[in-house]
Amino acid sequence: MKTADKICRFFIHKIIFMSDGDRLFHPHIPEVDIREDIDLIFGRAREAADESTIGSDGLYHRQVIIVTPGRLLIGKECPLPGEFPGGELEKLINLLPPSPPRSIAVIAYTYLEALKQDLLKAIPFFGFLMGFATIGHKVWVFEGHPTALTAGCHDADLLMVDGGLLLDLEKIGNWHEEVLKSMRGSEIKIVTREMS
């Protein structure tokens, strides 16, 4: 038996014996609303990711934009730089310096019910994304569906991909080539769930 077959059988076995709660958070590319205005939706997401919003504290906050499978835009308010625990902001700056500001597309698990129940369980590295937005980068997140890859990655300098979605992305075929055609940059980073 080929290694790839063994891996697929392992994941299928694992999924079959999951509880309903675990299935909710099993990363996969969900079904999406197929929209003719997908370019417009992601254009709005990129614009919103570059805007600050007034928080409940009356101060301006950066935001991360999540494009849901139903094509809603959800803005998640980021903490202010001074609200990060000691040394954390410096780590983020070392990972991705704020100058020049970058446009970051993120392929992650965005199933709405999972996001509502526990955002950090659905997207374990979401704290990093908020930090990157706080220091001035433009960050938007979507599920990586084949109908949204081009629009979702348009003008991105960097693409971050949830490693939990790689099996689904590989089913698409040449997804790397497709996203690179629409990106401004050429950097793709895979984020493993164990490391986030």
Residue 141 pLDDT? 98
| Ranges under pLDDT 70 in the chain | 1-22, 195-196
Residue 10 pLDDT? 43
Residue 79 pLDDT? 93
Residue 124 pLDDT? 95
- Domain coordinates in residue numbering, the chain: 29-191
> Strand pairing partners for 81?
none
Residue 63 pLDDT? 97
pTM value? 0.86
CA distances from 160 to 35, 79, 134, 166, 179 (A): 24, 21, 17, 12, 11
